[in-house]
């Protein structure tokens, strides 16, 4: 399974060198991004700091850094700052799983129970609460496709919407507690009913964590080793992993939330982080990375699955992944359960691990139809626009990501800077 990197030495992205004109973009209009973020968010301490990078036509068009990665120690955001990317892990895990699909090792419509026999005979909740649920049989088995598209019937503990997510909280399901593993999560989920029968609705969930478990079962490698050998090493993503190394701690950003008076308070101290020494490798939200590393991943996506001499995934496979897989080309607004996700629902479809823009007018923001993206719980985000040959990465550390509409504001600012 290991991809050789012997003949490939990736040119790492220098975030201190960029050329708007070479990318066909207006320097003055791009500078509005930094002005907006500093005046509206950094200076009034709504966020601690941020980094924004715009890549177009394989040229770095704009980079802006402002504020602090660590308010308590007065350390600034720098080009090599390490961030918790949370759910921006999901596209990485989804791509990794699909490299196994390309080898013929599973089919999208395979029942999940083929690889997780403990899940044979899953049930759907019709009443009751943990531990006394009333259930019925699912209408059809859960398929791997359902996990990739978040139509599995699973949920998240932070939804605070149903008795199922309450049961997740009671069991501390998918939390990175000491000694907790993917196998523990799988065994807990086998005990619980689903929110709905697979394929009926869309609901953001731990499904991508289950995909990480499937990668381990199918490949025979641990998830960290598989991601490292199949994606990170070939792309030169030298700073991306499930825990920061000791030599990275100085660069690791602290994470913040807001108190009842909307003041920033420390949520996770970089120098005593809950991300250290983890045994639960969350394919749905566990990675830490840098802006330059994630831009390498974005360059690969813009390159149709390849970067330089390294092809990570086939172009037709990627095309399949970023297409809208919701029934009848629906948008999320018409099929999603009420609850949190990393995107607005109007005008947005969902593929195999990515949200996809299907109607810019209905969505209200200007990214092209066919652009695809996701974000993370600490307000990080990215998007890929193949029509404009454009990628944008935004890094900050503020939980929850629903606090401010960074994606919509950045879309308006970035597309206003296109010139040719």
Interval 366-412: pLDDT, tens? 999 999 999 999 999 999 999 999 999 999 999 999 999 999 999 99
Residue 164 — very low, low, confident or very high, per pLDDT cuts 50/70/90? very high
Q: Nearest 5°: CA angle at 78, between 75 and 83? A: 85
Tell me what pLDDT residue 21 has: 97
**What is the average pLDDT across 35-59?**
97
Burial of 63-77, coded b for 16+ CB within 10 Å and e otherwise, reads bbbbbbbbbeeebeb
Q: What percent of the chain has pLDDT over 70?
A: 97
**What is the average pLDDT across 166-181?**
95
**What is the average pLDDT across 259-268?**
97
Tell me what pLDDT residue 340 has: 85
d(C-alpha 395, C-alpha 65), whole Å: 10
Pick the more confident residue, 5 or 386.
Answer: 386
Its pTM surpasses 0.85: yes
Residue 10 — very low, low, confident or very high, per pLDDT cuts 50/70/90? low
Residue 7 — very low, low, confident or very high, per pLDDT cuts 50/70/90? very low
Mean pLDDT over the full length of the chain: 95
Residue 12 has pLDDT above 80, yes or no: no
Q: Which CATH superfamily groups domain 99-219?
A: DD-peptidase/beta-lactamase superfamily (3.40.710.10)
- Boundaries of every domain in the chain: 21-87+221-415, 99-219
Residue 6 has pLDDT above 50, yes or no: no
User: What is the CATH T-level fold of the domain 21-87+221-415, as seen in this structure?
Assistant: Beta-lactamase (3.40.710)
Residue 160 has pLDDT above 60, yes or no: yes
Residue 3 has pLDDT above 50, yes or no: no
Tell me what pLDDT residue 77 has: 98
CA atoms within 13 A on the CB side of 80: 11
Within this chain, domains 21-87+221-415 and 99-219 share the same CATH topology: yes
Interval 220-231: pLDDT, tens? 999 999 999 999
Q: Nearest 5°: CA angle at 157, between 382 and 199? A: 75
Residue 127 burial by CB count (10 A; 0-12/13-18/19+): exposed, middle or buried? Answer: exposed
Q: What backbone torsions phi and psi does residue 174 show, to the nearest 5 degrees?
A: 60, 25
Interval 64-96: pLDDT, tens? 999 999 999 999 999 999 999 999 999 999 999
């Amino acid at each position: 399974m290991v991809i050789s990197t012997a003949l490939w030495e990736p040119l790492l992205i220098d975030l201190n060198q960029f050329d708007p004109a070479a990318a066909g973009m207006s320097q003055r209009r791009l500078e509005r991004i930094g002005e907006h973020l500093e005046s509206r968010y950094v200076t009034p301490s709504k966020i601690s700091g941020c980094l924004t990078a715009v890549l177009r036509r394989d040229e770095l068009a704009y980079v802006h850094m402002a504020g602090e990665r660590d308010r308590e120690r007065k350390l600034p955001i720098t080009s090599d700052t390490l961030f918790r990317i949370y759910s921006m892990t999901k596209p990485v895990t989804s791509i990794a799983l699909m490299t196994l699909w390309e080898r013929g090792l599973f089919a999208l419509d395979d029942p999940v129970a083929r690889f997780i026999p403990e899940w044979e005979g899953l049930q759907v909740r019709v009443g009751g609460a943990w531990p006394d649920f009333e259930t019925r049989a699912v209408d059809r088995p859960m398929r791997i496709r359902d996990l990739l598209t978040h139509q599995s019937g699973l949920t998240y503990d932070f939804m605070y919407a149903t008795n199922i997510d309450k049961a997740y909280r009671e069991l501390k399901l998918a939390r990175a507690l000491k000694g907790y593993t993917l196998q523990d999560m799988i065994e807990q989920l086998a005990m619980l009913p689903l929110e709905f029968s697979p394929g009926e609705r869309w609901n953001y969930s731990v499904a991508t964590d289950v995909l990480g478990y499937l990668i381990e079962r199918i490949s025979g490698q641990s998830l960290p080793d598989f991601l490292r050998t199949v994606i990170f090493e070939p792309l030169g993503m030298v700073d991306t992993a499930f825990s920061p190394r000791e030599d990275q701690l100085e660069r690791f950003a602290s994470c913040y939330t807001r108190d009842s008076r909307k003041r920033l308070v420390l949520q996770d101290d970089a120098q005593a982080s809950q991300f250290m020494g983890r045994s639960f490798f969350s394919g749905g939200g566990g990675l830490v990375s840098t802006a330059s590393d994630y831009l390498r991943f974005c360059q690969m996506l813009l390159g149709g699955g390849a970067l330089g001499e390294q092809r990570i995934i086939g172009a037709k496979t990627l095309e399949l992944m970023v297409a809208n897989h919701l029934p009848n080309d629906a948008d999320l607004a018409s099929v999603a359960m009420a609850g949190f996700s990393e995107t607005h629902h109007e005008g947005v479809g969902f593929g195999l691990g990515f949200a996809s823009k299907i109607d810019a007018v209905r969505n209200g923001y200007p990214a092209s139809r066919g652009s695809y993206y996701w974000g993370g719980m600490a307000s990080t985000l990215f998007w890929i626009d193949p029509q404009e040959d454009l990628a944008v990465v935004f890094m900050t550390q503020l939980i929850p990501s629903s606090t401010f509409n960074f994606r919509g504001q950045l879309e308006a600012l970035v597309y206003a800077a296109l010139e040719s």
